[in-house]
Amino acid sequence: MQPSDRHHLLHGKNIPIWIETAPSSPYHHLSETVEVDAAIAGGGIVGITAAYLLKQRGFTVAILEKDAVLNGVTGHTTAKLTSQHGLIYRYLLDAFGEDSALAYGRANQEAIDTIESLVEDHGIDCDFFRTQSYVYSRIGKQADRLRQEAEAARELGLPAEFVDDVPLPFDTAGGVKFENQAQFHPLRYLRVLSDSIPGDGSHVFEHTRVEKAQEGNPCVIKTNRGIVRAGHLVIATHFPVMDRNLLFSQMEARRSYVLAARTGGGAPPGMFYEAGGSEHSLRPYSSSEKDVIIAGGGAHKTGQERPDAVAYFLRLEDHIRRHFDVKDILHRWSTQDNSTVDKIPYVGRQKAGSKILLATGFNGWGMTGGTVAASLLADLIEGRHNSLAALFDPGRFKFRVSTKKFVKYNANVGVQYAKRFLSLAHRQKLDCGQVEVISSGARKIGIFRDESGETTSVVLTCTHLGCRLHWNDAERSWDCPCHGSRFDYKGSVIQAPAIRDLKRAGPSKKRDHRVTEDNSVDSKNLPNGKSWKKEIGKRRQIMPYRTNKELPDSVKSNLPGGA
């Protein structure tokens, strides 16, 4: 059980500063069948930028967003515009070669220029300004690795250098400095782009969730609001809601935490990211309000590790209070990133010749990565050549550089499936704001009592592939430790890959599921679950791959000697 009084230890508004300070212009939901050249599932930086580019090239487009545009992962970013993606360039040179490393670095550096051009063309007031970016370490033995990274990036023509002194209020082992990077207010920027899309046969639909799609000429896309027919479908939902490439087996979902704090001394000049460890990040909120800092850190695999989210927020707050004169915590939020097995995003067609395209796996660098992806997707739909297509191809599997992480990710998933069948029977008193997990046959039931006294019970089986969910105390959500799906405490989907809500553990015909008069859970009155043998048998086909025959075709084709 998670005590209810832990929640009051958190400070600041539980909303990203970007969402609260951006203009709002809600859009209608789909109300009739529409036909467009390209439908785009997802209203974040990838979807909006791709839609904008396609409309500029004469295509009709429709954005289909299940909630409100820009309120998802894009609205929860730290909003750094940089080609400095941690310590990646030494790795890319070794794993992919000079041509691929050069293409990756150049594309992300050019993405900053693209955003700057759009800001200037449309006169967007989004506090865009150029600055420097640093990757640093506080561990002395990391200094050589930092030097190697600076040398690799410089060889690729990036504005990099190693520096002994990083302008932070604590000691470091040095850092890699990139000049000519930038930061901005992402939602003020993207809101202008999204507002330019409706009209002349193009649309932005909110509260319109894509449920399934049939590829054809045109593609027929079924949503909860009706049908869309489109020449192409782009899945830009952070994690693909239709994962026909089985990318869930090649990505790891990680959560991290962010605070916006007002300080007495202001923020150091530049943007900062700590390599390894807690992965702390830091940047000023804006050029005019430099006394407000955006601090992040505490990354961990979604739904895994203890203590839960409250403790991560408290650790992050303690970190910035130790090093800055913090006057007030203004905002707090968390975000989720998908990391690929080879550190390169998946962007392109689901398979050769397909009219369904996707973009995912930005490894925490979605502002520049999402802009690169949008340009690539627009080129593929238009039929233009783009030299990045092979590097970002979702069907790739680089055996030498990907196998180790592929095995690690899926071994971890296997452990989480095994935990599903462990007994967690309890009988506890539930106060308002508390949660309890109890057993009902082979099932686990999550019971939450909110501040109004209403009790909600859900079956803790992820509707993606059946993993058992874990409680997130700070955000009051059920998180999947296997592939990163998230649900609110009432069972509604928050984040893909799951697209179906959780089952409610309501009354059965034979037995009532209830909370007794003293607020305790009466586990004897819970509905019986399915037998564990039947349940395991049902799930055998979606457990992690055990033989080559079970691997996706894109993986088998890269194994030595084939499958």
Check residue 305 and give its pLDDT. 61
Which pLDDT band, with edges at 50, 70 and 90, does 177 fall under?
A: very high
Check residue 225 and give its pLDDT. 96
Q: Does an H or E element contain 110, and which?
A: helix 98-122
Distance CA 143, CA 149 (A): 10
Distance CA 481, CA 470 (A): 7
Check residue 100 and give its pLDDT. 96
- Secondary structure class of 341 (helix, strand, coil): coil
Which pLDDT band, with edges at 50, 70 and 90, does 431 fall under?
A: low
Check residue 532 and give its pLDDT. 36
Check residue 242 and give its pLDDT. 79
With 90 as the cut, is the pLDDT of residue 203 above it? Answer: yes
Check residue 44 and give its pLDDT. 97
CA triplet 49, 55, 59: central angle to 5 degrees? 130
With 50 as the cut, is the pLDDT of residue 524 above it? Answer: no
Check residue 286 and give its pLDDT. 92
CA proximity to 251, closest of 369, 100, 389, 413: 413
DSSP H stretches of helix in 420-559: 532-539, 553-556
Going by the DSSP 8-state scheme, the letter that residue 161 receives in this structure is E
With 70 as the cut, is the pLDDT of residue 534 above it? Answer: no
CA-based torsion, 321, 323, 329, 332: positive or negative:
negative
With 80 as the cut, is the pLDDT of residue 549 above it? Answer: no
Distance CA 384, CA 464 (A): 35
Distance CA 350, CA 383 (A): 16
β-bridge partners, 200: none
β-bridge partners, 130: 182
With 80 as the cut, is the pLDDT of residue 4 above it? Answer: no
Distance CA 563, CA 558 (A): 8
Check residue 428 and give its pLDDT. 47
What are residue 326's phi and psi, to 5 degrees?
-75, 120
pTM of the shown model: 0.78
Question: Which range has the worst mean pLDDT, 382-396, 448-462, 494-508?
Answer: 494-508
Task: Determine the angle formed by the axes of helices 366-382 and 45-56, rounding to 10 degrees.
Answer: 40
| 328, 263 Cβ separation under 8 angstroms | no
The string of DSSP codes covering 111-135 is HHHHHHHHHHHHT--S--EEEEEEE
Check residue 442 and give its pLDDT. 66
Distance CA 152, CA 173 (A): 18
Edge to edge, the sheet with strand 470-472 lists 470-472, 477-479, 486-488, 493-495
Radius of gyration of the chain (CA): 24
pLDDT digits (tens, 9 = 90+) for 242-270: 777 777 778 888 889 999 999 998 889 99
The string of DSSP codes covering 12-64 is SBSS-HHHHTS-----PPP-S-EEEEEEEE--SHHHHHHHHHHHHTT--EEEE
Check residue 500 and give its pLDDT. 87
- For the CA atoms of 33, 35, 38, 39, the dihedral, rounded to the nearest 10 degrees, stands at 0
- Please state the rounded mean pLDDT for residues 293-314: 82
Which pLDDT band, with edges at 50, 70 and 90, does 529 fall under?
A: very low
Distance CA 207, CA 28 (A): 8
Question: Which range has the worst mean pLDDT, 103-107, 216-220, 257-261, 274-278?
Answer: 274-278
- Please state the rounded mean pLDDT for residues 332-356: 93
Which pLDDT band, with edges at 50, 70 and 90, does 207 fall under?
A: very high
Taking residue 105's Cβ as centre, other Cβ atoms within 10 Å add up to 23
CA proximity to 433, closest of 451, 414, 418, 406: 451
| 203, 459 Cβ separation under 8 angstroms | no
- Amino acid type, 292: V
Which pLDDT band, with edges at 50, 70 and 90, does 510 fall under?
A: very low
DSSP H stretches of helix in 203-242: none
Check residue 506 and give its pLDDT. 60
Check residue 517 and give its pLDDT. 35
| 149, 142 Cβ separation under 8 angstroms | no
- Average pLDDT score over the chain: 84
CA proximity to 240, closest of 76, 468, 483: 483
Say how many residues make up the chain: 563
| 497, 464 Cβ separation under 8 angstroms | yes
Distance CA 110, CA 102 (A): 12
What percentage of the chain has pLDDT greater than the value 90? 59
| 144, 194 Cβ separation under 8 angstroms | no
Taking residue 508's Cβ as centre, other Cβ atoms within 10 Å add up to 13
With 80 as the cut, is the pLDDT of residue 386 above it? Answer: yes
- Amino acid type, 511: R
Which letter, b or e, does each residue of 171-192 get, where b requires 16 or more Cβ atoms within 10 Å of its Cβ?
ebbbbbbbeebbbbbbbbbbbb
Which pLDDT band, with edges at 50, 70 and 90, does 429 fall under?
A: low
With 90 as the cut, is the pLDDT of residue 327 above it? Answer: yes
pLDDT digits (tens, 9 = 90+) for 142-158: 999 999 999 999 999 99
| 27, 4 Cβ separation under 8 angstroms | no
CA of 93: how far to CAs of 96, 148, 158, 173, 177, in Å?
6, 11, 13, 24, 19
Distance CA 464, CA 455 (A): 25
CA within 13 Å, CB half, 442:
17
| 258, 16 Cβ separation under 8 angstroms | yes
With 90 as the cut, is the pLDDT of residue 511 above it? Answer: no
Distance CA 532, CA 468 (A): 14
